[in-house]
Amino acid sequence: MCTILHRILIVECACTPVRFFAILSMQRSGSGWFETLLNSHENISSNGEIFSVKERRSNITSITKTLDKLYNLDWLSSAAKNECTAAVGLKWMLNQGLMKHHQEVVEYFNRRGVSAIFLLRRNLLQRYVSILANDHDRSTKQLNGTHKAHVHHRGQADVLAQYKPTISTKSLIAELKRSDKLAADALVNFKTIRNIVLYYEDVVSNRTKLTDVLDFLKLPNIKLSSRHVKIHTKRLRDHIDNWIDVYNTLNGTQYESFLNGRR
């Protein structure tokens, strides 16, 4: 029987087993920001984009070996907490071996009791702008010669936001369709595991979505916070150099609603 403790969080952690989760997402969909929100909860340890290292995703054996190390609680990272940990996970991009080995991963998740938190983005045009801007900074290193995928100061965000990509309209619709299909396929491929589906835009506009996540992980509801500062805050037209061309390309298509989004 659990000892009665003074703090509710410790009681919750002491009386329940550690739960396993994986944030399944796509690059530039807010997953970095979302993970810092989760990690602000003293009972959650999400260990980042572990499979960004190619050797860890080279085959299913490497993938399961890496997952075993994480979920056997042998993985040491900055996400480790002094408080007892009630939920342990990682951030996993769909193109990091996840979709390629989805059948084996589904079997593994079901066997180990891993729950999936899908974090997707509705406005794929805004995501594409973020991808292009991030690629530009990776090559130019605009902040004192250092690439910053995420920033913690408004001044840094304003510097990065000054770059306005010119989008190839010839390949734009194909790119949006590819991203759309990847997300849809992921929802189908992983529908047999315990999961929750979130959209970045909803989390930004309605913080009660974070309560849904904590309920999903069966953890106490506390206020979550992040130091991440949003880079692109203006109208979408103000972040694209050839806005008129992009507007004419998407207007009247299935993606024309993306033209009106701010987030």
pLDDT tens across 95-121, in order?
999 999 999 999 999 999 999 999 999
Mean pLDDT on 144-168: 92
Mean pLDDT on 149-161: 90
**What is the pLDDT confidence band of residue 73, given thresholds at 50, 70 and 90?**
confident
> What 3-state class would DSSP assign to 241?
coil
Spans of all domains in the chain: 8-260
| Per-residue model confidence (pLDDT) at position 251 | 97
| Per-residue model confidence (pLDDT) at position 74 | 83
- 3-state per-residue secondary structure call for 4-51: CCCCHHHHHHHHCCCEEEEEEECCCCCHHHHHHHHHCCCCEEECCCHH
Mean pLDDT on 139-157: 90
| Per-residue model confidence (pLDDT) at position 188 | 98
| Per-residue model confidence (pLDDT) at position 84 | 74
Q: In whole angstroms, how far apart are CA 206 and each of 87, 130, 198, 226, 240?
A: 23, 22, 11, 15, 27
Percent of the chain with pLDDT over 90: 81
Mean pLDDT on 200-215: 95
Give me the residue label for tokens 């290193």.
141
Give the chain's mean pLDDT: 91
| Per-residue model confidence (pLDDT) at position 3 | 39
CATH class of 8-260: alpha beta
| Per-residue model confidence (pLDDT) at position 175 | 98
